[in-house]
Amino acid sequence: MKELEERARACYQGPIALSVNEFTEMLVLDGCFVLELFRGTVEGFQPIGYARNDPVFAMRGLMHSIQRDMVMLENQLPLFVLDRLLGLQLELGTTNQTGLVAQVAVKFFDPLMPTGEASTRLDPLNLKTWLKRSLDLLGDKGELHCLDAFRRSLLKFSYTPNPRSEEDPLPLNLVDKRQQQLVHCVTELREAGVKFKTRKTNRFWDIRFEHGCLEIPKLLIHDGTKSLFSNLIAFEQCHIDSTKDITSYIIFMDNLINSSEDVSYLHYCGIIEHWLGSDAEVADLFNRLCQEVFFDPKDSYLSKLSDEVNYYYSRKWNALKATLKHRYFNNPWAYFSFFAAVILLVLTLVQSFYAVYAYYKPPS
């Protein structure tokens, strides 16, 4: 493990006031604890010898807190360190053992999935057997740490925007909040005739807009969502080569949600399901997530979609149709009353015509 000491130090910002032995010992202790958590996730904690009342591994509430703690950016261990430790533990050797831990990390973070769908559905197996069966799930794609691996699993098959050119450098200052506005909020879009619908996919970021209908995949919000999204945003902000897909998605949702009424309507449409205390808490969560974030809307994978939504919003005819529907045709009886009135008006006009016609041209 000492062979990796210098490389591991370079992964952290600023100097670390620990000797070579102390730093290596810290990596080994923390790494072994993480791997034991991963092993229990795959094989089950009781089958590997932990009691049902174990103070760490048997308490579901504590395990959820551990998962939220391990998803924090400042708590990440370099993935190559964990790969080396896992290779030693499973007697796989000490070289070319990359991409192993990434697969187990994704399974460990399954409860934090914002879609409510587990990314891996396998029966409890021996860790070595599980790795052999799932070796092609992620492979070695250069993940930096467990959070990066989990992020990549969330964004698999995602759209990757073109990298910036040298003529279009990254902004040096925070983008004004008004310039982060991709679309209008749900209430305003509804007034313009935009409809909302749940999109059937487990890719929570995969949003579509067709024929005036905004299709958004279902999003599950729980106690760990704020920690997960905050750290994913922080990761994308800290790594210049990383896409800003998660940030783009959250800012888009932040634009849609301005109030508890917006959350309530998205919940009514089946787009948002949450375990928080109220719709107002959900609105507050999104409104606070992207404060002081470096973000250029032009780099968003939702930029084109946002332009289409805004164009639809700007057409006054759509707003007029929506107003007529919401105010005067908001129930089936209103349609019947309207058609009855039209028929009565037509009959009245016909009767008036024949009365006038008979006056000027009386029958002979």
Q: Residue 123 — very low, low, confident or very high, per pLDDT cuts 50/70/90?
A: very low
Longest alpha-carbon distance in the chain: 122
What pLDDT sits at residue 169? Answer: 44
Please determine, for residue 269, whether its predicted confidence score (pLDDT) is greater than 80.
yes
Q: Residue 273 — very low, low, confident or very high, per pLDDT cuts 50/70/90?
A: very high
Which range in 36-40, 97-101, 191-195, 211-215 is most confidently predicted, on average pLDDT? 211-215
- Mean pLDDT across 145-174: 61
298-313 residue pLDDT tens: 878 998 999 999 988 8
- CA-to-CA distance for 5 and 8, rounded, in angstroms? 5
What pLDDT sits at residue 133? Answer: 45
Residue 291 CA from chain centroid, whole number: 17
Range with the poorest average pLDDT among 9-23, 159-173, 237-251, 281-295: 159-173
Nearest residue to 108 via CA among 247, 243, 224: 224
What pLDDT sits at residue 170? Answer: 40
The burial class, CB within 10 Å (0-12 / 13-18 / 19+), for 244 is buried
- CA-to-CA distance for 170 and 363, rounded, in angstroms? 87
What pLDDT sits at residue 197? Answer: 94
Structure token pair of residue 258: 């301005």
The answer to whether 219 touches 174, Cβ cutoff 8 Å, is no
Please determine, for residue 85, whether its predicted confidence score (pLDDT) is greater than 50.
yes
Q: Residue 215 — very low, low, confident or very high, per pLDDT cuts 50/70/90?
A: very high
Please determine, for residue 167, whether its predicted confidence score (pLDDT) is greater than 80.
no
Look up the pTM and report it: 0.75
- Mean pLDDT across 313-323: 64
- CA-to-CA distance for 174 and 167, rounded, in angstroms? 19
- CA-to-CA distance for 38 and 103, rounded, in angstroms? 10
Higher-confidence residue of 320 and 315: namely: 315
Q: Residue 337 — very low, low, confident or very high, per pLDDT cuts 50/70/90?
A: confident
Return mean pLDDT, the chain: 78
Please determine, for residue 111, whether its predicted confidence score (pLDDT) is greater than 90.
no
Q: Residue 174 — very low, low, confident or very high, per pLDDT cuts 50/70/90?
A: very low
3-state SS, the chain, equals CHHHHHHHHCCCCCCCCCCHHHHHHHHHHHHHHHHHHHHHHHHCCCCCCCCCCCCCCCCHHHHHHHHHHHCCHHHCCCHHHHHHHHHHHCCCCCCCCCCHHHHHHHHHCHHHCCCCCCCCCCCCCCHHHHHHHCCCCCCCCCCCCHHHHHHHHHCCCCCCCCCCCCCCCCCCCCCCHHHHCCCCCHHHHHHCCCEEEEECCCCCCCCEEECCEEEEECEEECCCHHHHHHHHHHHHHHCCCCCCHHHHHHHHHHHHCCCHHHHHHHHHCCCEEECCCCHHHHHHHHHHHCCCCCCCHHHCCCHHHHHHHHHHHHCHHHHHHHHHHHHHCCCHHHHHHHHHHHHHHHHHHHHHHHHHHHHHCCCC
33-66 residue pLDDT tens: 998 888 887 777 777 777 777 777 766 657 888 8
Higher-confidence residue of 118 and 79: namely: 79
Backbone angles phi, psi at 98, to 5 degrees: -115, 150
Structure token pair of residue 261: 């009424």
What pLDDT sits at residue 323? Answer: 58
Please determine, for residue 178, whether its predicted confidence score (pLDDT) is greater than 90.
no
Range with the poorest average pLDDT among 166-175, 203-212, 308-317: 166-175
Structure token pair of residue 64: 């959820």
